[in-house]
Amino acid sequence: MTWVSLPKYSEAYSNGVTDFIQNAFDNFATGSELRCPCKDCSNRFWFSEEDVYDHLVSNGLCPSFVNWVYEVSTPKFKKVDQEMDCDSGMVLGEDFDKMIRDESRVRNGMNDTAKRFYKLVEEGKQPLYPGCEQFTLLGFVVKLFLLKCTHGFTEGAFSGILKLIKEAFPDVNLPSSFKVAKNMIRELGLDYQKIHACPNDCMLYWGENLNLTKCKFCGVSIWKLPKNRTDAPVSPDLEEKKSKVPAKVLRYFPLKPRLQRLFMCKDYSKLMTWHALERTKDGKLRHPADAEGWKSMDANHPNFTADPRNIRLGLAADGINPYRSMNISHSTWTIILVNYNLPPWLIMKPENLILSTLVPGPVYPGNDLDVYMQPLIADLKELWEVGLQTYDAYADETFMLRSSLLWTISDFPGYAILSGWSTKGKLGCPNCHYCTSSLYLKHSRKVCYMNHRKFLPPDHKHRFDTRRFNGKVETDVCPPPLSGKDIEELLHGYENYFGKRDAKKRKRGADCLFKKKPIFFQLPYWRDNLIRHNLDVMHIEKNICDKIIGTLLNMGGKTKDHISARKDLQEMGIRKVLHPIKIGDSNRYEIRAATFDMMKKEKESFLHYS
């Protein structure tokens, strides 16, 4: 296929795009639309034939889909379903067909889970009807599920569509209802668990609490109560007649079957060892495996490192508003796992991110997030201590898969929720911890963190610069960060109190500034991790850039150089040239422009009102 490398304005390129679109729409289109493989869309969005042609001619082809386009453009092309499994991040199209092709090659050495999986695949690849070459049973069901999720079909509508198709085409090999179709997908490991939770975030009805009907901490029922009902006792006969709806439901996507499924595709299984066998090792930071945190894990746990197929994960958590209208105050927390075994160009692809937990809203859980992470931590602990028997399609063998959690990723408020250390107040710096240098600004009404020069080398010239800073020579040294072992010793015997039931109990242990003992310390290796929590780049870049640009351009509402800041400088007795000058007996102040202010030269001062 030579047209991809040709100039986009050439006639040969245009003809190649036309041939590709004609073949692709014959085999891949859903209705009159196709996923566009241009650079901007990257096979994520659906467009009509004309729009796809315009995108490919104007934007060009995304490099990731050159091989796929080549297969589509080949005259001997055979149908491949290219749908995404939104639940797990696995491709159920090209990669899934590779699993099916590999299935006929591998039989010996498979464990029972793999044999059962391939048996289900064998049943799912049956033609939709006798002689059908376009769809398999599983491929068609996945397409229907995608349409259901995309267009918001109800379960009744989904079952009605299946019933109508079977009535119109009696020979079609389709499930009879939504429930049967869902069971078919569930058998392939694409299911999730519904776990009831206390509406006050005290506990999960899970594990030893599975059979309880009331919270053992606050006494609130597991079920929703009618609006006109109080907590007064109700007779058992009447209670049985009431329709029972759970008050709060956690949705957990089991981790172990998802990790097993990564190794059932030959190509994915090969990529899972890329970090050890194919990575360029020249001392440059190109992959998390080049970082000190990864190397520290390898040095502390050589048995885990011995098999490169063992998976290193990162945990990202943040709150989202699932509603389009931002006027609705709602916070649903998602916990997503990042697979770091893959090459760097695949790690952050949406299809390779593993959705682990959905914590329901509308109120964000805060420090009680640990309650909802119990199933995930239990799986991670078992994957470390026991392992999971997994079939490797690339090596054609069964091995014990283990997994570890390297670190978490969040914004700064999320850092406090995951680590247990409050990121607000006088000791709000997790790195400086008890040695944080802070000052409350009276006029700005906020806490400012000072003495940043202590992080500089002892002989740095800025340490001795008194005019540009606080008028003093900086003699403090950089405080050592708290290691995992230090935190574990500080929190020894600390008792967590979760839920919104008793605020006084949560203040126990006032001598310790941690709000809780993080659940991550249940993992045997967490105390040895060099880096346990990370801040995401997006918030840091955006917030810092906004404040710097707003201050340099003196943008109203965004600048940090305002009248309150100038009064705080006067209160501190530093940078006298920037102090505000009061005009007469009024409340008006005149302030001189700072040297960093990019204002017009003829304007040397502004008048502000206090």
Distance (Å) of CA 366 to CA 250, 282, 396: 15, 42, 45
**In the predicted model, what is the mean pLDDT of the chain?**
80
3-state secondary structure of 355: strand
Strand partners, 221: 214
Express each pLDDT in 253-282 by its tens digit.
999 989 988 898 888 899 999 999 999 888
Q: Which of 90, 106, 65 is nearest to 342 (CA)?
A: 90
DSSP secondary structure string for all residues of 25-73: HHHH-BTTBEE--BTTTTT-SEE-HHHHHHHHHHH-B-GGGHHHHHHHH
The confidence band for 203, taking pLDDT boundaries of 50, 70 and 90, is very high
Strand partners, 447: 440
For 300-315, what is the mean pLDDT?
93
Q: Residue 451: left (phi > 0), alpha (psi -120 to 50), or beta?
A: left
DSSP secondary structure string for all residues of 512-540: S-BSS--GGGGSTTGGG-S--EEE-HHHH
Express each pLDDT in 445-470 by its tens digit.
999 888 888 899 989 999 998 888 88
Burial of 141 per CB tally in 10 Å (0-12, 13-18, 19+): buried
Letter for the amino acid at 302? Answer: P
For 312-340, what is the mean pLDDT?
86
Amino acid 503: pLDDT: 54
Neighbours of 474 (CB within 10 A): 20
Task: Check if the beta carbon of residue 18 is closer than 8 Å to that of residue 53.
Answer: yes
In this model, does residue 510 exceed pLDDT 80?
no
Task: Check if the beta carbon of residue 500 is closer than 8 Å to that of residue 354.
Answer: no
Strand partners, 337: 315, 354
In this model, does residue 62 exceed pLDDT 70?
yes
Per-domain residue ranges of the chain: 3-73, 94-187, 268-431+481-535, 551-609
Amino acid 581: pLDDT: 84
Q: What is the DSSP letter of 579?
A: S
User: What is the C-alpha to C-alpha distance for residues 83 and 140, in angstroms, rounded to an integer?
Assistant: 10
Q: What is the DSSP letter of 442?
A: T
In this model, does residue 234 exceed pLDDT 60?
no
In this model, does residue 92 exceed pLDDT 70?
no
For 565-584, what is the mean pLDDT?
85
User: What is the C-alpha to C-alpha distance for residues 406 and 481, in angstroms, rounded to an integer?
Assistant: 18
Q: If you search the block for the tokens 């949406």, which residue do you land on? A: 350
Q: Which residues contact 415 (CB under 8 A, 6 or more apart)?
A: 421, 423, 430, 533, 535
Strand residue runs (E) in 78-216: 193-196
3-state secondary structure of 340: coil
Whether this model's pTM surpasses 0.85: no
* φ/ψ (deg, to 5) at 42: 50, 40
Amino acid 514: pLDDT: 86
Task: Check if the beta carbon of residue 257 is closer than 8 Å to that of residue 189.
Answer: yes
Q: Which of 48, 61, 68 is nearest to 17 (CA)?
A: 61
User: What is the C-alpha to C-alpha distance for residues 274 and 391, in angstroms, rounded to an integer?
Assistant: 18
